[in-house]
Structure 1
Amino acid sequence: MSDARLAALADEPPETRAATLMALAWEPQDAPLAVEAFLADPSPLVRVAAAFARLRSGAPPRERDRLVEVIADVLCGDDEEHALAAGTALVELGELVTPILVRRCERTDAREPLIVRVLGELAGPDARACLQSLVEETRGSAAARAEARAALAALARESSA
């Protein structure tokens, strides 16, 4: 999509901006999408869609932390609909985001239960190690530890089935 078409998208309603950016994320791209302006959009859904599109279209490693943080901030916000969209985007991105979410989760001040839930859904070895660490330690919130215990129990049930 040309820069002019992305610029024209700025005049659309938030739902249209978000839907268009999400659709673009799934189209083959020759280069990462230039969605920087949408990362500061007032609509949390547009910010999630822009970060997701940039990550899916091949954002360089030096940008990934910031883009995942954009999505994670919406995940941990007050709006359930926005949090659901952000969580879905993170799970869809899979192992690409796991190390970034693990680092965020390891920070004492950032043990949000929804981040822990997403790590449980990602279920890779790094995510499992982070969940196990949360269960074993006393720092962080009780809600995050409970979410980690539930995620580990679900993973154990899946692996024994």
Structure 2
Amino acid sequence: MPDLNEGDLAPDFTLPLDDGSTFQLSAQRGRPVVLYFYPEDDSGGCVDENKEFSERAAAFSAKGARLVGISPDSVESHVKFRRKYGLVSPLAADPEHQAIEAFGLWKLKKLYGREFMGLIRTSFIIGADGRVARIIRATRILGHAQKMLEALDAHVSGAPRK
């Protein structure tokens, strides 16, 4: 799947959430959606990232946005992960990589000289019109949620990008 660009129509998908419901991207039209894709439940960086998004969940909601975390883990793993750390953000399970691949995030990675396929940690703001408004790669985990909140604020207010 080719990489998405800002302005592209976001690929639709339906995934199960850790609360037993489902999330369908196209059903969210009319309000912005913030999707943050992360590699794995209960690993160091992913714990930090999810905690930061959870701490800011009310601020995302106050801007009218739906916030959802997505990883290749199962619903059962998400339930344990969310409970263990008191996470607020709903987590979508994508073990078949339906959304992950549609968003172009399953790629060859290198770590300590080893190559493997994995998820590229990235977040998206999907506009109320269903188009990709912002794409932000998480080059630094700490502070990424705040960066997304600021990008959402600029998107909602129509402010020019920095």
On whether the aligned pair clears a TM of 0.5, the verdict is: no
Larger-gyration structure (1/2): 1
Q: Which has the higher strand share?
A: 2
TM-score by length of 2: 0.20
Q: Which has the higher helix share?
A: 1
Bigger relative contact order, structure 1 or 2 (CA pairs below 8 A, ≥6 apart):
2
